[in-house]
Amino acid sequence: MNSSSLQSGAAGQTAARPLGVLAALPQELGDLIAAMQAESGVTTRTLGRRDYHIGTVHGVPCVVTLARVGKVAAAATVSALIHVFDVEAVVFTGVAGGVGPDVHVGDVVVGETLLQHDMNAEPLFPRHEIPLLARSRFDADRALAAALAAACERFIEEEGTALAERFSAALPRFETALPRVHRGLVISGDQFVASAAAVGDLRAALPDALAVEMEGAAIAQVCYEYDVPCAVVRTISDTADEHASTSFSSFLTEIAGTYSTGILRRFLASWTPAQR
């Protein structure tokens, strides 16, 4: 184990700093808290109206929590993970709307870069630039993103055909073809995007955007400010058009947990400090 990943425990021995794992909504965590309960037991601390679950899951010490929805909620939660729980890195898992032309319901997007699409302090600052931070795009940690993408690829290789068969009947918009893993730009804003016109505007402004959601770039900004590695993985629940709210709701209830469970299990089992 890398000595930079160690800190002194209460009894003087060294202990690994935990990984922060968060989602907006409970379905997006899959079986993570139950798996932690079974593996190590769970200690729960409540702070800022959120429950932080502390324990070990798939061999990794973790703090698992729900941010709820939106950029402020996400920023507040990740700030607590950093300052109160001293996490070494942060992983966000959840669903998103597909924006890229080849991004379909059931695909997975791993964020390599994140941007707040609703930030606009023009004419004082260029569109999307975070005032006084001199940047609009925040990078995910390369090693974390690569490990997440590898876990997604393995999940789809091993379970993708069964997923497509199982869910295409329940969800007409779930592509029957094998789901794909994409890597690139994820955009965040305090809007649930649900019209073809809105998607068109996002594509025109940000042609390389793959997925739209409401938390990722806020987390990436806070992690950038504190030099904490972070990564975001999003399963596509809808295509941010007029069908978005029904597609999102059924995907969240019926499918999101299966993806998160399958991806996080593989990611955590493969995750060691040497990868960072």
Q: Is 240 in the site for ligand SAH (CB under 6 A)?
A: yes
CB of 96 to ligand SAH, least distance (A): 5
CB of 116 to ligand SAH, least distance (A): 13
Q: Is 256 in the site for ligand SAH (CB under 6 A)?
A: no
Size of the site for ligand SAH (CB under 6 A): 19
The residue among 115 and 193 lying less far from ligand SAH, judged by its C-beta, is: 193
CB of 106 to ligand SAH, least distance (A): 13
Q: Compute the Cα dihedral for 15, 34, 20, 256 and give only its sign.
A: positive
Q: Compute the Cα dihedral for 241, 135, 223, 6 and give only its sign.
A: positive
Separation of alpha carbons 116 and 71, rounded Å: 9
Separation of alpha carbons 91 and 214, rounded Å: 15
Residue that has been written with the tokens 């695909």 in this structure: 107
* Site map (CB under 6 A) of ligand SAH, residues 161-200, x = contact: -------------------------------xxx------
Question: What is the DSSP-derived secondary structure letter of residue 274?
Answer: G
Decide: 89 and 19 in contact? Cβ < 8 Å: yes
Query: Smallest Cα–Cα separation from 262: which of 153, 168, 175, 164?
Result: 153
The residue among 144 and 252 lying less far from ligand SAH, judged by its C-beta, is: 252
CB atoms within 10 A of CB 10: 6
Q: Is 250 in the site for ligand SAH (CB under 6 A)?
A: no
The residue among 97 and 111 lying less far from ligand SAH, judged by its C-beta, is: 97
Separation of alpha carbons 94 and 26, rounded Å: 9
For residue 18, say if its preceding peptide bond is cis, omega within 30 degrees of 0.
Answer: no
Q: Which residue is nearest to ligand SAH (CB)?
A: 97
* Site map (CB under 6 A) of ligand SAH, residues 64-103, x = contact: -----x------------------------xxxx------
Q: Using CB under 6 A as the criterion, which residues of the chain lie in contact with ligand SAH when the complex forms?
A: 24-25, 69, 94-97, 192-194, 212-215, 237-238, 240, 244, 248
